[in-house]
Amino acid sequence: MPEMTDWGYTGGSAGEKWKNSGLLVSRIVRVHRERFEAVCEKGFVWALPKAGAYFRGVESVEFPAVGDFVLLQYNGAGESLIVETLPRKTLFARSDLNTRKAGHGRVSVEQVIAANFDEVCILMSLNQNYNARRLERYAALAWASGARPAVVLTKADLMEDKEKSAYLAEAMRLAPGARVFALSAVTGEGMEEFRAFLESGKTFVLLGSSGVGKSSLVNALMGEAAAVCGEVREDDARGRHTTTHRELFMLPGGAMAIDTPGMRELGILDADEGLTAAFSEIEALMGRCRFSNCTHTSEPGCAVQRAIHSGALDRARWDSFRSLTKENRAAKRKKEAVKQREKNASKREDRPRDRAYKRLGDEA
Ligand SMILES: Nc1nc2c(ncn2[C@@H]2O[C@H](COP(=O)(O)OP(=O)(O)OP(=O)(O)O)[C@@H](O)[C@H]2O)c(=O)[nH]1
Ligand SMILES: [Mg+2]
Ligand SMILES: [Zn+2]
């Protein structure tokens, strides 16, 4: 029978208000459309969000996602019911601030991709997929999630050693504070070092464009074809979106990996702290400008401009920092506006949406 602590549950026994309620702590391991597969002390179960327990508020963020710890009304004879999402340690959401119609109300679609992971593995393949600016973006998002980023350069078998070292060195510069790996799921190169990094009991989420080899890496770690991979192709610079759902795998060493579908676009959202961490050396420079309100354009005594001129700071990295900062600010403004709109809308339409969902739950 599964022990929830083996599955990363660290909630402990103190303060568990549901202790005598008959509810079970469980972890979501697979999300497939509206159905969830979860693991609890009784084993693996299929579960559904309980009608009325979700969709009450205006945000969809509470809705269970892979990696979530939830409270389950266990049903040995059929589908169990998810009654509550426990507070998340970390979370990764895709920001889509365009509102969409849902039932009778409009909700912002901040889709949670994964939750409660300890490390974010940013995968990039050592061919045409590698992109410095995207790496910086992902690193900022990873820090913003509350977890640490690690960079995994995949398909190392496709590149000469000398060239590989150059990529490794650059990735270390672009993602300060992150461990960087180069490996191949095909030849096994670099896999031993990466396995040693996957600490037992910890959860690692794999992120990266379609086709970089996320599922192939999971399979190599599992030692079996557990995740469905794309076919081998000569030209795989562009992926095909083979993985369509999110799934958490228990690896042989006791660590867990969450495989995700490749994402075309990842917007920066609420990432102030993420940007500070991802561009820590720039933050340090800005603290050394002569004027505290320096705009880092043409002021005398600007430490940033000085670093750019001396070559200590790459101009492309500075530009990247500025554009991500701008994007972050715009996203925050938009989020505020959407929230306000929803607040107004929910005052008028809260009830009908509840009812619509109840029907959905009753049918299932
Ligand atoms: N040469 C080489 N090819 C690899 C390696 N890892 C994966 N591939 C190939 O890359 C392609 C895509 O691999 P997947 O594992 O399906 O990629 P993915 O990131 O899961 O893609 P999505 O599920 O679409 O997001 C397949 O053709 C794999 O065989 C590797 O280490 N070396
Ligand atoms: Mg995949
Ligand atoms: Zn300055």
The CATH number given to whatever domain includes residue 197 is: 3.40.50.300
CA distance 81 to 70: 10
Is 352 among the domain residues? Answer: no
Residue 234 is part of which domain span? Answer: 118-259
Minimal-distance CA residue to ligand 1 atom 28: 232
For 86, half-sphere exposure in the C-beta direction (CA atoms, 13 angstrom radius) is: 23
Closest CA to 37 of 1, 76, 82: 82
Residue 240 included in any domain? yes
Is 132 a domain residue?
Answer: yes
Distance in angstroms (rounded) separating the CA atoms of residues 177 and 196: 18
Q: Is residue 301 part of a domain?
A: no
Among candidate residues 137, 142, 149, the one with its CA nearest the CA of residue 180: 149
230 Cβ below 6 A of ligand 1: yes
Alpha-carbon distance of 345 to 104, in angstroms, equals 10
Residue 127 within any structural domain of the chain: yes
Q: Whose CA is nearest to atom 3 of ligand 1?
A: 155
Rounded Cα gap, residues 131 and 209, in angstroms: 11
Instruction: Report how far ligand 1's centroid is from the alpha carbon of 304 (Å).
Output: 40
Nearest CA to ligand 1 atom 29: 232
Residue 33 is assigned to a structural domain of this protein: no
How many structural domains is the chain composed of? 1
- Domain-located, residue 364: no
Q: Is 157 in the pocket of ligand 1 (CB under 6 A)?
A: yes
Distance in Å, CA 32 to ligand 3 centroid = 49
In tens digits, the chain (364 residues) has pLDDT values of 788 999 999 876 545 666 777 899 999 999 887 789 999 999 999 999 887 777 654 445 678 999 999 999 999 888 999 998 998 999 888 765 554 444 444 445 567 889 999 999 999 999 778 999 999 999 999 999 999 999 999 999 999 999 999 999 999 999 999 999 999 999 999 999 999 999 999 999 999 988 999 999 999 999 877 666 665 444 444 555 677 778 999 999 999 999 988 876 677 777 888 999 999 999 999 999 999 999 999 999 999 999 999 999 999 999 999 999 999 898 888 878 877 877 777 666 544 444 333 333 333 3
Angle at 208 between CA 202 and CA 212, to 5 degrees: 110
Closest CA to 47 of 79, 75, 6, 95: 79
Print burial letters for 68-91: b (CB count within 10 Å at least 16), e (below 16): bbbbbbbeeeeebbbbbbbebbbb
In short, whether 67's Cβ falls inside 6 Å of ligand 1 is no
Determine the atom of ligand 1 nearest the C-alpha atom of 123: 19
CA distance 192 to 249: 19
Q: Which of 153, 160, 189, 229 to mutate to test the pocket of ligand 1 (most atoms within 8 A of CB)?
A: 229
Ligand 1 atom nearest the C-alpha of 187 is: 31
Specify if 151 maps to a domain: yes
